[in-house]
Chain A
């Protein structure tokens, strides 16, 4: 297990170094998230819809689509110069490759969230203080599920001609339970309800995280073997 985690961290660190150098996907994702917030803000009629009803949906729509930008890049870097062949020929396990890729994607999505959540609170004048800790926990749980599914489908789509189109088409149906759980629990928190009322949705998130992480880790080797 330690070998798998060491190899996974090696791959994650390499991916993050590449992203840090190029910053192409990160800037795209952040700009997309901020633009989404602005567009929703100006389309919003505060007299018709309460901010606590609107904000959770806005937040999770933005995360879902901005995350896809990073997920597409995840295996895109491996198609340059057939680098994926070098990874697959090495003695590390396929599961380590998947976990490493997913870990890098998780850090990527978390970094986008780190900018987008305060921006959402600022735009929609929501108090972050009281709900910060449970909201961060929900964001992390949701990111784990989204990243597990997205990483798997990124690996499947990368070698197809329509990868940019195929990745969202494959991923979005599987994102639905995660997005529902995340937006419902966020809505409870933002409307000032106690965390206990969001507990059922948080449990749903945890259950889907366990299912998706396990299933996607086990399925990944079949997507790269001839």
Chain B
């Protein structure tokens, strides 16, 4: 949902003002800083790599402090540092009471965040557990079996 001719700062600022965010300028800078995008904040989005565009998209989506976040494959295109920054951001949002639903193939990052986790196959949950009952090894096995089963 980014405008390629605008810079990351302009894209995030536009979203902040659409949502009527107070003190928009500071919130924009904060969102970009969290996603480690301040250094490239004024470059046109079209000149950024896929991973950087994904970071800007996340900064844009989070700038207004949403109460519910639906993230479909948010780790795709992100390198390790981008993935860590996203996990930290989602963890912080979760601690403030934001409800977050993440759909991901990145089990390690997904499980590190989850209060509840599920494996879905052909539109149905084949496994669903609360965080305290999650065993990463067993989840990985279920996930691989689900993938193999199509």
Interface residues of A (CB under 8 A from B): 7, 10, 14, 17-18, 21-22, 77, 80-83, 85-87, 90-92
Q: Is there an interface contact between B6 and A17, defined as CB atoms closer than 8 Å?
A: yes
B66 → A minimal CB distance (Å)? 10
| Chain A residues whose C-beta falls within 8 Å of the C-beta of B17 in the assembled complex | 10
Q: Is there an interface contact between A77 and B3, defined as CB atoms closer than 8 Å?
A: yes
A47 → B minimal CB distance (Å)? 49
Q: Would A81 and B1 be within 8 Å (CB), given that A17-B10, A18-B6 are in contact?
A: yes
Q: Any chain A CB within 8 A of the CB of B147? A: no
Q: Is there an interface contact between B18 and A92, defined as CB atoms closer than 8 Å?
A: yes
Interface residues of B (CB under 8 A from A): 1-6, 10, 14-15, 17-20, 44, 60
A154 → B minimal CB distance (Å)? 17
Q: Would A91 and B3 be within 8 Å (CB), given that A10-B14, A86-B15 are in contact?
A: no
B18 → A minimal CB distance (Å)? 4
Main secondary structure of the interface of A (DSSP, over half): helix
Q: Is there an interface contact between A14 and B19, defined as CB atoms closer than 8 Å?
A: no
Q: A18-B5, A83-B2, A86-B18 are in contact. List 14 more A-B contacts (CB 8 A).
A: A10-B18, A14-B3, A14-B14, A17-B6, A17-B10, A18-B3, A18-B6, A21-B5, A21-B6, A82-B1, A83-B1, A90-B15, A90-B19, A91-B19
Q: Would A81 and B2 be within 8 Å (CB), given that A14-B14, A17-B10 are in contact?
A: yes
When C-beta atoms are compared, the residue in chain B nearest to A20 turns out to be B5
| Chain A residues whose C-beta falls within 8 Å of the C-beta of B19 in the assembled complex | 90-91
| Chain B residues whose C-beta falls within 8 Å of the C-beta of A86 in the assembled complex | 1, 15, 18, 60
| Chain B residues whose C-beta falls within 8 Å of the C-beta of A21 in the assembled complex | 5-6, 44
* Bound-complex Cα distance A90 to B15 (A): 8
* Bound-complex Cα distance A30 to B139 (A): 61
* Bound-complex Cα distance A77 to B3 (A): 7
When C-beta atoms are compared, the residue in chain B nearest to A83 turns out to be B1
A44 → B minimal CB distance (Å)? 40
Most chain B CB atoms below 10 A, which of A21, A82, A86: A86
Task: Choose one: B3, B10, B44; the contact of A80 (CB below 8 Å).
Answer: B3
Q: Is there an interface contact between B6 and A87, defined as CB atoms closer than 8 Å?
A: no
* Bound-complex Cα distance A158 to B3 (A): 16
| Chain A residues whose C-beta falls within 8 Å of the C-beta of B6 in the assembled complex | 14, 17-18, 21
